Structure 1
Amino acid sequence: MANDNKYIPALRFPEFQNDGEWKMVYGDELFEPIVNKNHDSDLPILAITQDNGAIPRDDINYNVIVSDKSIQGYKIVEIGDFIISLRSFQGGIEYSRYKGLCSPAYIILRKRFNEVCDDFYRYYFKSYKYIQDLNRNIEGIRDGKMISYKQFSGIKIPFPRFTEQQKIADCFVSIDKEIDATKRKLEQLKEYKNGLMQRLFPAKGKTTPELRFPDFQNDGEWRTMLLGEITSVVNRRNKSNRSLPIYSINNTDGFVPQSQQFIGMDSEARGYDISAYKIIGKHTFAYNPARINVGSIGYSGELKDILISSLYVCFKTADDVDDNFLMCFFNSYI
């Protein structure tokens, strides 16, 4: 965002092109700490989360028993307040859309005047740049420790004029609305797909599907066969201890690199014997017998020469079997 040591955004709406650089101010110039414990404990208790900000615990099934005496010491959070949480150095500063109570361990921030746009700072305080600034300016922060108001105040934050704050905030809000609409559409499509799968595959104990494409209406019953009749086992071991990418299988994504499945495990810098691992080529199915009940089966598709644990059972289909059809069947609830 800095341009020739001036704080000017690289991308700017046309009406602000000639406004010059943004003013930079310390956090305490815009936000003050608030401690208000004057309540009758009848407000909802808020959970301070990285994904949803401050949200009533009941809305996310956050079941923590708190004594009435403890609640008396809780702070009131107003709509529009920001909260410094125990993990702000990882996920930024949280925002509250609710009035409620939060633990006295949290620091509540409230804007000092109306020219501070809530949504602008709601996005800025969760930005990668601001989180970098938090970590750069703060030493010794670890889980269980809180960023203090003094430390928050020691970081400069942008303060463009209110109209530009609002314009930027409106842009991000509209994008979030599109994201939410896309997520809802995706969930609807998933439900539609699951419904079709129940009807396009024969129900348990049946030999014909409830729903059938017109050109197959008169084809009669489906044949049933044992999986072993249309597949062959793949058991190629990595005897030469080749250094190949290691994959695992989960019940949502199928084959995934082991470094993604188990964060921090670098499959290229391993120090253990992989000669017993299995080498997987294209168009191969694999599953862990211990997890097949939760649908942990994968299909390698075009992946070639990868390794998976010897615990997996691997197989290929006969030439007259459509792999995609079989994978859809495995993913159905039939």
Structure 2
Amino acid sequence: MSSKANTTTPKPDDKPTLTPKLRFPEFRDSVGWESKPFAKLFSIGNGRDHKHLAPGDVPVYGSGGYMRSVDEYLYDGESVCIGRKGTINNPMFLTGKFWTVDTLFYTHSFNQCLPKFIFSIFQSIDWLKHNEAGGVPSLSKTNIEKIETAVPSLPEQQKIAECLSTVDELMAAQARKLDALKTHKKGLMQQLFPREGETQPRLRFPNSKMPGSGSAKNSLTVSRR
């Protein structure tokens, strides 16, 4: 008696699903991710002119980043923004009240997706491949809405967003440490080299040789003039 493997023929209206190679243990037996165009996940809003607005505490953003603060807001809530013109490959995650100018799209009205998860998706996209202009890089709302992405359940989105946010925080902390070291190095260089018009540095090593060379002591101790 011969046996055949059970197979199922997908129905015409079945939606294809995808499964990532790496998945959190609690979701390994869950259904696959569903592919959807951005148009079904959120709406895209246009920025507006800000010149008529009075100074205030609401930040204004363009495709290049923060511009100024005004007394009115265009949107209040979590949003993922992407440049319409100019800098189109630098997604931003904004929360609270803000205003965007006409060079920056913002997203709203999220449907079965979390803004933080969408932000991660935006960060993984090579937006320059979607550039529609020969001169200044540009994106259109229509083409952004056509981009498709795979989306899991809301609990899995939350888990992924939390994980990636933690990594972002660690990277930001390391960047701050690096900036502090660069500032420290700059200060040392200003002290260890003679200033213009001077022949002696403000700080000198106690030995004539650099630390770690020959008979000099392996120490970073410096002495002031």
Give the structure-2-normalised TM-score. Answer: 0.63
Number of matched residues? 188
CA distance in 2, matches of 1:188, 1:33: 38
Query: How many Å apart are 1:110 and its aligned residue?
Result: 0.7
Whether contact under 8 Å (2:84, 2:104) holds in the other structure is yes
Aligned residue among 12, 21, 28 for 1:10: 21
CA distance in 2, matches of 1:16, 1:34: 33
CA distance in 2, matches of 1:155, 1:89: 19
Whether contact under 8 Å (2:100, 2:106) holds in the other structure is no
- Structure-1 residue corresponding to 2:165: 173
1:21 aligns with 2:32: yes
Query: How many Å apart are 1:22 and its aligned residue?
Result: 0.5
- Structure-2 residue corresponding to 1:122: 119
- Structure-2 residue corresponding to 1:111: 109
Report the identity percentage. Answer: 25
Aligned partner letter, 1:97: T
- Structure-1 residue corresponding to 2:68: 58
Aligned residue among 147, 153, 156 for 1:155: 147
CA distance in 1, matches of 2:85, 2:148: 20
Aligned partner letter, 1:100: F
Secondary structure at the aligned position of 2:99 is classed as strand
Aligned partner letter, 1:19: S
CA distance in 1, matches of 2:206, 2:171: 37
Aligned partner letter, 1:171: C
Whether contact under 8 Å (2:43, 2:107) holds in the other structure is yes
- Structure-2 residue corresponding to 1:188: 180
CA distance in 2, matches of 1:110, 1:88: 22
- Structure-2 residue corresponding to 1:80: 78
Higher relative contact order (CA 8 A, sep 6+): 2
1:1-334 alignment runs, 5 A limit: 6-34=17-45, 41-42=53-54, 44=58, 46-49=60-63, 52=65, 55=66, 57-58=67-68, 76-87=74-85, 90-91=88-89, 94-103=92-101, 107-113=105-111, 115-128=112-125, 131=127, 135=130, 140-142=132-134, 143=136, 146-148=139-141, 150-204=142-196, 206-216=198-208
Secondary structure at the aligned position of 2:113 is classed as coil
Where does structure 1 lack aligned partners over 5 or more consecutive residues? Answer: 60-70, 218-334
1:87 to 1:171, Cα distance in 2 relative to 1, 3 A: farther
CA distance in 2, matches of 1:144, 1:212: 51
CA distance in 1, matches of 2:21, 2:95: 30
Where does structure 2 lack aligned partners over 5 or more consecutive residues? Answer: 1-15, 210-225
Secondary structure at the aligned position of 1:163 is classed as helix
Whether contact under 8 Å (1:31, 1:111) holds in the other structure is yes
CA distance in 1, matches of 2:80, 2:197: 57
Secondary structure at the aligned position of 1:9 is classed as coil
CA distance in 1, matches of 2:46, 2:201: 64
Secondary structure at the aligned position of 2:30 is classed as coil
1:106 to 1:194, Cα distance in 2 relative to 1, 3 A: closer
1:41 to 1:208, Cα distance in 2 relative to 1, 3 A: closer
